[in-house]
Amino acid sequence: MQTGTRDNGGTKMERPNAWKAYSADDLEDLNYFCEGYKAFISDNKTERECCEAAIDLAEGAGYESLESRIASGKKLVAGDKVYASVRDKSLMLVEIGTEPLENGVNILGAHIDSPRLDVKQNPLEEKNEIVTLDTRYYGGIKKYQWVTLPLAIHGVIALENGVTVPVSIGEDEDDPVFCITDLLPHLGHEQMEKKASDFIDGELLDVIVGNRPVSGDDQDAEKDCVKAGVLAIVREALGIDEEDLLSAELEVVPAGAARDLGLDRSMILGYGQDDRSCAYPSLIAQLDCTSPARTAVTILVDKEEIGSRGATSMSSRFFENTMAEVLELAGEGGDIKLRRCLTNSNMLSSDVSAAFDPAYASVYEPKNSCYLGHGLAFNKYTGGRGKSGSNDADAEYVATIRRVMDEGGVRFQTSELGKVEAGGGGTIAYILATYGMNVIDCGVPVLSMHSPWEAVSKADVFEAYRGYTAFLKLA
């Protein structure tokens, strides 16, 4: 199958639209895969929810917890499948291959956190009989995009007795939703004169949760009688008091499910597609992998959107420590074999890229941009301006990736993140590259990245799955 080139006005460098080459069977497979993807991102809007759902799928595919395998002392052999998680927010899946681990492994790495609003530790406030939750935004957002939307609250509340209470309000049809208000245009002249970054102050991203005073004789006795009513509802529904919010992790996200976008249903509009449009295909590619020569590894990590800091991030020792445990159980223990394994490994840093948007064409360089529907996008380097903060894959590894994608019949394209001095961004790639392994960025092109509702092409999500599958098998 000729997948990578076409003659378009005398050039063979432009990548063809993937939709043009799909057979009826291809379209059936694509739609089936994307329905599963839509359900996953609709049901799992936090890193905890993604991690839990991924573990359920992994166990259904025959994966065993690494912790239980260590306890049993049973040696890992080719074909064995194990997983490890940290703080219920990051996950690593491993299927042992037939080659020695010392020779290196093939790694898919994506993140499962997304831009959002985090509820503060002391959040509840009543002003003029309207009760709000104070928030702090997480990751790079345009603050004005978050006002007047229906919002949901997801997360957990940890109690002193060791019980963790899950929270998900705003997704079911009968649930209430929440919102952040905006100023009406009739009174908004001064506001409209501000630049976009100052249009909404970060401290004004307060989520409305109530307006009805507590009922009965307590109305006059309560100073904040609306807040008292909200707390009474929370106490009855969740069994918690206001002080329990000190040990809560509550995330405010757009309410509602991912939907087909466009009359042709060729795209998906949904929350958190950066980076779950890469995380889900990586997960399913790992679960579908059978009898790999090189051990197959998939990492789904937290905290990428805030610089990969913390115990559940790619910067933590979780990956390295887990690999050390795997090598030990496989009979290849020892520091030098671990170092050789990591250095000899290949990785795809599976993160989204900025799809060319004709509405904002001035910030893109068309010849080196990725396009919706043209397949999995590879970024040799990311970063900003002079490649600051980037991982830059070497030519030999790019050639290997080209071979793998072509042998696998994968439709792919290459791209940069906008014009040279238009901005830029980074991924987890540079962190893994510190081990000396081969790493390249690749992922799904996204429109409206980091907005509450992002758009992707179904073809690109499907080709990401096919590309990740080919990588685990052929790299």
Residue 9 is assigned to a structural domain of this protein: no
**Do both 86 and 125 map to the same domain?**
no
**Do both 154 and 133 map to the same domain?**
yes
Amino acid identity for residue 397 in this structure = Y
Exposure of 354 by Cβ count < 10 A (0-12 exposed, 13-18 middle, 19+ buried)? Answer: buried
Q: Please tell me the predicted confidence (pLDDT) of residue 11.
A: 56
Exposure of 61 by Cβ count < 10 A (0-12 exposed, 13-18 middle, 19+ buried)? Answer: middle
Q: Is the pLDDT of residue 2 over 50?
A: no
H or E stretch at 131 = strand 130-138
Q: Please tell me the predicted confidence (pLDDT) of residue 12.
A: 59
Q: Please tell me the predicted confidence (pLDDT) of residue 77.
A: 97
Residue 260 is assigned to a structural domain of this protein: no
Task: Indicate which CATH number applies to the domain containing 221.
Answer: 2.30.250.10
Percentage of the chain lying above the pLDDT 70 cut: 96
| Distance from C-alpha of 272 to C-alpha of 267, rounded to nearest angstrom | 15
Q: Please tell me the predicted confidence (pLDDT) of residue 220.
A: 54
Q: What is the pLDDT of residues 350-377, one digit of tens each?
A: 999 999 999 999 999 999 999 999 999 9
Per the structure, the count of domains in the chain is 2
Q: Please tell me the predicted confidence (pLDDT) of residue 4.
A: 43
Buried b or exposed e, range 424-441, using 16+ CB within 10 angstroms: bbbbbbbbbbebebbbbb
Mean pLDDT of 295-307: 96
In the numeric block, which tokens belong to residue 342?
């990591």
Q: SS3 for 443?
A: strand
In sequence order, the 6+-apart residues with CB closer than 8 A to the CB of 132 are: 124, 125, 206, 207, 208, 209
**Do both 362 and 460 map to the same domain?**
yes
Supply the Cα-derived Rg of the chain in whole angstroms.
24
User: Which residue has better confidence, 53 or 7?
Assistant: 53
Q: Please tell me the predicted confidence (pLDDT) of residue 244.
A: 96
Mean pLDDT of 64-71: 96
Tracing tokens 């990956």 back to the chain, one arrives at 319
For residue 175, cis peptide bond before it (omega within 30 degrees of 0)? no
Q: For all residues of the chain together, what is the average pLDDT?
A: 93
Q: Please tell me the predicted confidence (pLDDT) of residue 14.
A: 78
User: Which residue has better confidence, 394 or 8?
Assistant: 394
**Do both 246 and 283 map to the same domain?**
no
Q: Is the pLDDT of residue 6 over 50?
A: no
Q: Among 228, 254, 280, identify where a domain stops.
A: 254
Exposure of 243 by Cβ count < 10 A (0-12 exposed, 13-18 middle, 19+ buried)? Answer: exposed
**Cα dihedral value 459, 465, 468, 472, nearest 10:** -140
The DSSP result for 253-305, as a single string, is EE-S--EEESTT--EEEETTHHHHHHHHHHHHHHHH--S-SSPEEEEEES-GG
| Distance from C-alpha of 143 to C-alpha of 197, rounded to nearest angstrom | 7
Task: Indicate which CATH number applies to the domain containing 425.
Answer: 3.40.630.10
Residue 8 is assigned to a structural domain of this protein: no
| Distance from C-alpha of 232 to C-alpha of 433, rounded to nearest angstrom | 51
**Do both 348 and 448 map to the same domain?**
yes
Tracing tokens 């995009």 back to the chain, one arrives at 145
Separation in Å, CA 36 to CA 120, 430, 461: 33, 31, 11
List, in sequence order, every residue forming a beta bridge with 438; answer none if it has no partner: 346
**Do both 240 and 284 map to the same domain?**
no
Count CB neighbours of 357 within 10 A: 18
Q: Given CA atoms 26, 29, 32, 37 in this order, what sign does their dihedral have?
A: negative
| Distance from C-alpha of 272 to C-alpha of 452, rounded to nearest angstrom | 8
Check: CB of residue 412 under 8 Å from CB of residue 376. Answer: yes
Q: What is the pLDDT of residues 245-254, one digit of tens each?
A: 999 999 999 9
**Do both 135 and 94 map to the same domain?**
no
Q: Please tell me the predicted confidence (pLDDT) of residue 388.
A: 79
Percentage of the chain lying above the pLDDT 90 cut: 88
Q: Is the pLDDT of residue 336 over 50?
A: yes
Count CB neighbours of 240 within 10 A: 18
| Distance from C-alpha of 420 to C-alpha of 145, rounded to nearest angstrom | 26
Longest dimension (CA), the chain: 82
Q: Please tell me the predicted confidence (pLDDT) of residue 216.
A: 64
Q: What is the pLDDT of residues 195-209, one digit of tens each?
A: 988 989 999 999 999
**Do both 122 and 64 map to the same domain?**
no
In sequence order, the 6+-apart residues with CB closer than 8 A to the CB of 335 are: none
Residue 7 is assigned to a structural domain of this protein: no
- Which DSSP letter does residue 219 get? H
| Distance from C-alpha of 424 to C-alpha of 432, rounded to nearest angstrom | 20
Q: Please tell me the predicted confidence (pLDDT) of residue 36.
A: 98
Q: Is the pLDDT of residue 314 over 90?
A: yes
**Do both 343 and 449 map to the same domain?**
yes
Q: Give the structural domain span for 353.
A: 18-114+271-474
Give the pLDDT band (50/70/90) at residue 222. low
Mean pLDDT of 446-464: 98
Residue 94 is assigned to a structural domain of this protein: yes
Question: What global pTM score does this model have?
Answer: 0.94
Residue 141 is assigned to a structural domain of this protein: yes
**Do both 63 and 94 map to the same domain?**
yes
Give the pLDDT band (50/70/90) at residue 421. confident
Q: Please tell me the predicted confidence (pLDDT) of residue 290.
A: 92
Residue 265 is assigned to a structural domain of this protein: no
Give the pLDDT band (50/70/90) at residue 384. confident
DSSP-derived pairing of the beta strands 454-457 and 267-270:
antiparallel
Q: Please tell me the predicted confidence (pLDDT) of residue 426.
A: 81
**Do both 434 and 291 map to the same domain?**
yes
Q: Among 203, 227, 254, identify where a domain stops.
A: 254
**Do both 299 and 440 map to the same domain?**
yes
